[in-house]
Amino acid sequence: MNVYLFLAPSELDVLRHARLGFSAVSTCADPYQRNAPAVMPKVPRISDDAFEAELKRQFQALPAHIQGAFSFADFREKVLPKRPQIEAQMQQRLLAKVPKLPEPKGYASLVWCRFFKRWDNPLLWEYYADAHRGLVLEIDTAHPDFSSNKQVLRPVVYAAERPTADHPLKPFPALFHRAPEYAHEEEIRLIRPLAEAHPAEAEGAYYYPLPVQAVRSLTLGIDAQAATRQWINQTFRYDLRYKSQCHLYEIRLDPHRFDLHRITLQEAVDEE
């Protein structure tokens, strides 16, 4: 599977030092994933009608030979003094329907890197590549470095329902679910242990080595600045780590639709 990593011009260290940037999961901005305070249901008040319905349910649940021994009125009169206890049981059953959410405490030991399924999504270029001034790397996750049993690489699921603690998608179901409003991103997340990551200069930032053999292509944004273009050209002309297997492209706009296209850097030079 090939995935795409969007970078701003300030993140060229990914290529310069061949290191893949990660962020601490505990610093995540998504409040759903860190279980920010939620609206908790209040203890429901049991109405007279609901209480009467519960007494009838209990009476009808009695074995037939016991029901035949006395009437519902007799049963009601006998259990009526226990109304507080019966109401407490009813309230507990109603509260038990509140789902248990995944516990985020374990996320403190994790870091993640965010990839995406597509290179041609204009929204991703705007938000993750400095408004089209950055670039995107195509990375082949078939490389052995992405097959470790100490990591989880998985597409994000988009749905209105939040995952519960017993969700079948394990581990870390909350880290691979987002609201449907984010579905346009088509994100693929890589989770690794923080303990084995190298701390970077910025607070909350870490890195793992980037296997340069896994980098299949680099695409410059439509508004990439001259300094970025020059650095990319020099790096990929003289750095033998990337020169042989990495293809270089540049973005061009579609004249009819809101689509993006790629041309090779040589084709871009020939246009000038």
Has residue 155 got a pLDDT over 90?
yes
pLDDT digit string, tens, across residues 258-270: 999 999 987 776 6
pLDDT for residue 110: 94
Give the pair of three-digit tokens for residue 64. 């037939």
Rg (the chain; Cα; Å): 29
Q: What is the DSSP string of 191-234?
A: EEEGGGSEE-SSTTEEEEE--GGGEEEEEE-TT--HHHHHHHHH
Which class for 122: exposed (0-12), middle (13-18), buried (19 or more C-beta within 10 A)? middle
Q: Where are the domains of the chain?
A: 2-18+116-187+210-271, 48-95
pLDDT for residue 97: 66
The CA-based dihedral angle spanning residues 240, 241, 246, 251, taken in that order and rounded to the nearest 10 degrees: -90
The alpha carbon of residue 153 and the mean position of all alpha carbons in its chain are separated, in whole angstroms, by: 11
| Structure-model confidence comparison of residues 3 and 269, the more confident one | 3
Give the whole-angstrom CA distance, residue 176 versus residue 178. 7
Which of these, 27, 30, 12, 18, lies nearest to 198 by C-alpha position? 18
Please tell me the least confidently modeled range out of 16-20, 145-149, 166-170, 246-250: 166-170
Give the whole-angstrom CA distance, residue 210 versus residue 90. 57
| DSSP label at residue 39 | P
pLDDT for residue 96: 65
| Structure-model confidence comparison of residues 37 and 150, the more confident one | 150
pTM above 0.85, yes or no: no
Give the pair of three-digit tokens for residue 38. 């939620």
Grade residue 224 by pLDDT with cuts at 50, 70 and 90: very high
CA atoms within 13 A on the CB side of 173: 15
Grade residue 252 by pLDDT with cuts at 50, 70 and 90: very high
Q: What is the mean pLDDT of the chain?
A: 89
Please tell me the least confidently modeled range out of 140-149, 168-177, 256-265: 168-177
pLDDT for residue 272: 63
Give the whole-angstrom CA distance, residue 47 versus residue 200. 59
Please tell me the least confidently modeled range out of 151-160, 228-237, 247-256: 228-237
In angstroms, the Cα distances linking 32 to 23, 25, 135 are: 17, 12, 29
Please tell me the least confidently modeled range out of 76-90, 185-199, 232-246: 232-246
The arithmetic mean of pLDDT across residues 112-117, rounded, is: 97
pLDDT digit string, tens, across residues 61-77: 888 888 778 888 888 88
pLDDT above 90 as % of the chain: 55
pLDDT for residue 74: 86
Highest mean pLDDT pick, 17-31, 64-78, 236-250: 17-31
